[in-house]
Amino acid sequence: MKLLIDAGNTCIKWALVKEADWLRNGVVPIAQASELSHHFAAIKNIQQIWVSNVAGEEIAQHIRNIGTDKSGRLHFVVARQAQCGVRNGYANASQLGSDRWAALIAAWHLVQGKCLVVNSGTATTIDTLSGQGEFLGGLILPGVELMQRSLVAAAVQLKSAQGEYVPFPLNSADALYSGAIQASCGAIERQYTLLNDDSAPVVLSGGAAGLLQPYLNQKLFSVPPRIVDNLVLQGLLLMAQEANPL
């Protein structure tokens, strides 16, 4: 059995997988990372732990503490020049975030062709795969919540309040929320336009994927953008299966 872990800036997603069967999955807030070893203490038959960690060394140590109680091997993945059918076009391959790399691998496995891969959480990443599985490059921008928080923190007159999306906002809360939605969707749509291929699908994942999907300009796409849950975890499983085909 494999334990897959996607440690992001806000939460830690995990899944227990036996061969190709997903047995259980869940989410642990990043603030509770110190409880991870206790969280998995009752699970005795984990052979391998595969991890994407973009949350820093302290979180990595909490994850290592899980492994000390298990007989399985612990793998912190790092982006490579090529893996699972995807080639990495980054100037320095290992500097590509492990979460982006895993998501690209999962998207390639799903689409097997040119596509835009969007993962939206604390940050929103918008990455492009060619029809030959080459990572052509991508964007990183603040996620919907982070955009709003950063503006409130930097602008004295703006106050934190939950807004709603409206095309032409008439209060500051709606203006902040609608601006974050529009900025995120605009970046996705612009990158998609640069692809110059309206048959290429858009794969959306991350906690804010459901927020963004309804506001994307559907006229741009011949196939509606699809939400795929746990794209990073799916990529980790593919890496594990390639490393251990049996």
CB atoms < 10 A from the CB of 243, how many? Answer: 14
DSSP letter at 214?
G
User: How many angstroms separate the first and last alpha carbons of the chain?
Assistant: 12
Cα distance between residue 63 and residue 40, in whole Å: 11
DSSP conformation class of 91: S
CA distance 112 to 136: 15
Cβ neighbours for 86, distance < 8 A, ≥ 6 positions apart: 101, 104, 105, 108, 129, 133, 134, 135
Tell me whether residue 99 is one of the annotated catalytic residues: yes
Angle (CA) 218 220 225, round 5°:
55
Which residue is catalytic, options 99, 127, 174, 229? 99
From CA 16, how far away is CA 1, in angstroms rounded? 7
Name the token pair of 59.
Answer: 């979180």
Residues with active-site annotation: 99
